[in-house]
Amino acid sequence: MENQIENLINQITLIYQNKKVTPKYLKYLEDKNLKEELEDAPETVKKVVKACEELGIRQYSGFIHVESDYYDWELQRRALRVLAPSKEHMCKTVVMENTRCSVNDMKDPLNSKYYAVCVQYTSKLNTQKLMNFVRSLKNKTISKKHYNFRLASPEKSAELTGFDKNGVCPIGTVEKIPVIITEEMAKLDPPIFYLGAGDVDWKWRISIDAFIKATNCWVVDLS
């Protein structure tokens, strides 16, 4: 039975990736996005919606209200629930802290104490590669001793973003945080991914190209 389900899921993914289907699918999503009514959404979700509008990516953004026990489900079931093309399209935002940073703020994106890093649930974040990349932003002029990346505490993440765990979004945040996404995310087919939308029970579907252009994020190999 499990093999049959897995085969069905693979077939669904292949349909989404069909070059004749993908453009129609993306156009369908854009039309659907503009018809969404979100008056009853939580205020934190509305902040993300407002950020999408200000960044000019509202038409490329879809918002999905999920069940309260959503995170008790397996990843594949969650992907099916939000109609993601595959479980690889399921992503999250984590706030990474440089505990040895030579500064204590985010004024300089090239040497920030915090970064909002978007990763796939199916991948692991390599903190060594993250350190190497961030250090390269200053052409390695800052000593390695000033770099040590770890996951920021839930309290610090909430303070900087305004969002709680499983609802963290890289836009609409309290503080402006430099954004990084992985190369694997940028290569997803069809070119969309899913992130937290400001609330644990809401998810954000966004076009990859629109996201990269709007956030001016870095695309980095972090696997």
Write the pLDDT tens digit of every residue in 80-98: 999 999 999 999 999 999 9
Cβ-based neighbours of 213, under 8 Å, separated by 6 or more: none
More confident: 2 or 185: 185
Sequence letter at residue 23: P
Give the Å distances, CA to CA, from 140 to 26, 126, 134, 143. Answer: 41, 19, 9, 7
Q: Is the pLDDT of residue 6 over 80?
A: no
Strand 202-207: give its sheet, edge to edge: 61-65, 202-207, 192-196
Q: With 0-12 CB in 10 A as exposed, 13-18 as middle and 19+ as buried, what is 27?
A: exposed
CA-wise closest residue to 189 among 24, 17, 27, 26 = 17
Sequence letter at residue 182: T
Q: Please, which pLDDT band fits residue 206 given cuts at 50, 70 and 90?
A: very high
User: Per residue in 140-156, is it b (16+ CB within 10 Å) or e — as a string?
Assistant: eebeeeebebeebeeee
Q: With 0-12 CB in 10 A as exposed, 13-18 as middle and 19+ as buried, what is 69?
A: exposed
The overall average pLDDT reported for the chain is 95
Enter the tokens of residue 24. 């129609």
Rounded to 10°, the helix 22-33/2-17 angle is 90
Q: What are phi and psi of 98, to 5 degrees?
A: -90, 100
Domains of the chain listed by start with CATH number? 2-220 (3.90.960.10)
CA atoms of 68 and 200, how far apart (whole Å): 8
Q: Please, which pLDDT band fits residue 5 given cuts at 50, 70 and 90?
A: low
Q: What are phi and psi of 149, to 5 degrees?
A: -90, 135
Sequence letter at residue 88: E
